[in-house]
Structure 1
Amino acid sequence: MFRNSDLDRIRETFADQFANDPNGIVYRKGQKGAPFRISERERDEFISTFDRRIRFAWWSIIPATVAMILLMVWLIPDSHSVAADIAVWAGIGAILLPFMSVFRWAWNAPSHELQRRAPEGVAFSKAEARAFAFSKIAYSQLAIAAIIGAGLIWRKSEETDVFHGWGMVWLICGGALIGLSGIQAIRKFRFNRSHSGDQA
């Protein structure tokens, strides 16, 4: 969970909102919002600030997790009780909620700072945003996601009963990953086919 490669992917996704064009650098929130012209220095500062904030939030999960474990051991000695299961999920939520709040604040920081600046154009339409989103997704990525979902179910089925009780969580998560990958693949195929037909 705390690999540098994961942080690098998050940082790259954030940095992808800043695109080069013949006139310099343009920021589009989520790669589809209205374009704002910025300088190279501003771009570097936005990325550097996001990197610091998200890295701090990311690593703060470690002491929060340790504190949760110690608190559970102290308050709920029986780790196999219903109360322990509820406490685990409540603790996970209590840890992730602040992280997600900081992440959202850091992610939206450029748009908040640029909201008083006049944009150079309009946001992508739904069709343009959909075309851009599908262009960023490769069939190989969807296939890998489906394989990961199947592997998750297979691996957890060797450790627990995935058809009963809390074990069904792994079945649902893995099945959802497989299903979403398949749906996205079908949507991408249909969109590409209709788009190529329109161009013809």
Structure 2
Amino acid sequence: MSMNNSIQKMHENFEAQFEVAADGRYLYRRNQKDEPIPVSADERERFIRQYKSLIRVILGGMMAALVAFFALVIWWTAATKSELPDVPTYIGISAIAIVALTLMYWVRGSPARELGGRAPIGRKRTREEMRSIFFKKISYGQLAMAAVVGAFLPFTSGPDVFHGWARLWLVFGGLIVLLAGVQAVRKWSFDRQRP
């Protein structure tokens, strides 16, 4: 999946928190689950515009931080005439990713923080309602693609995945395949119960 598709999915996921109400206004449900809070069309558009703008800034900052980090790694390699050990490299990349993900999650919750004083007009969705939303959104094709990625992922990590720490890639790939399979069975069962 390309970066543009991933960003588009993030935008769609954020916008899905706003449902059209009967009176032409919108209802905001944090993560599509919490109590519905009425918002105007203008408020919805403002939240979406702010979200898209801030996500671009965060992703741009993450890319700039990664470029700076890799420039530092190259400088270290040239200055010391030795490669930077794997552990600091993984820690640096992970730290940059964790900061970016934390900021994206914080931005996603900004409507809930701003609308916190406004009275909700309904109840939270039940687990069954959330399951229905999840299974309607996900397709068997997406689950199959996840399983294929999980199956091939270990073999893209290096030439020898059967020794040492590289075996963790086999475990990780296997977990992805298992999770995709379990979700496919759950979706099939759910679809059978609700034709």
The bucket for the TM-score relative to the shorter chain is 0.7 to 0.9
CA–CA distance in 1 between the matches of 2:2 and 2:65?
A: 14
CA–CA distance in 2 between the matches of 1:59 and 1:176?
A: 31
| 1:148 corresponding residue in structure 2 | 149
CA–CA distance in 1 between the matches of 2:126 and 2:141?
A: 27
SS of the counterpart of 1:60? helix
Question: How many residues align structurally?
Answer: 191
Output aligned runs, 1:10-21, within 5 Å: 10-21=10-21
Q: Give runs of ≥4 in structure 1 deviating > 6 Å.
A: none
Which deviations, in whole Å up to 9, do the C-alpha atoms of 1:133-164 show, x marking residues without a partner? 2222222221121122223334x27x411122
SS of the counterpart of 2:34? coil
| 2:63 corresponding residue in structure 1 | 62
Residue 169 of structure 1 deviates from its aligned partner by 4.1
CA–CA distance in 1 between the matches of 2:127 and 2:111?
A: 22
| 2:138 corresponding residue in structure 1 | 137
In structure 2, the gaps of 5 or more residues are none
> CA 1:127/1:2 → structure 2, altered by over 3 Å: closer, same or farther?
closer
CA–CA distance in 2 between the matches of 1:73 and 1:4?
A: 28
CA–CA distance in 2 between the matches of 1:128 and 1:8?
A: 25
User: Is contact 1:2-1:59 (8 Å) kept?
Assistant: no
Pick which of 21-30 and 50-59 moved more. Answer: 21-30
| 1:180 corresponding residue in structure 2 | 179
Report whether the alignment pairs 1:98 with 2:99. Answer: yes
Residue 107 of structure 1 deviates from its aligned partner by 0.5
Which deviations, in whole Å up to 9, do the C-alpha atoms of 1:108-134 show, x marking residues without a partner? 001111111011101101122122222
| 1:87 corresponding residue in structure 2 | 88
> CA 1:2/1:54 → structure 2, altered by over 3 Å: closer, same or farther?
farther
Report whether the alignment pairs 1:51 with 2:52. Answer: yes
User: Is contact 1:18-1:28 (8 Å) kept?
Assistant: yes
Which deviations, in whole Å up to 9, do the C-alpha atoms of 1:17-44 show, x marking residues without a partner? 1111322211111112111111110000
CA–CA distance in 2 between the matches of 1:140 and 1:97?
A: 29
CA–CA distance in 2 between the matches of 1:52 and 1:169?
A: 37
TM, length-normalised to structure 1? 0.85
| 1:8 corresponding residue in structure 2 | 8
SS of the counterpart of 2:85? helix
TM, length-normalised to structure 2? 0.87
User: Given residue 96 of structure 1, which amino acid in structure 2 is its aligned partner?
Assistant: A
Pick which of 108-117 and 132-141 moved more. Answer: 132-141
SS of the counterpart of 2:116? coil
| 1:27 corresponding residue in structure 2 | 28
Residue 15 of structure 1 deviates from its aligned partner by 0.8
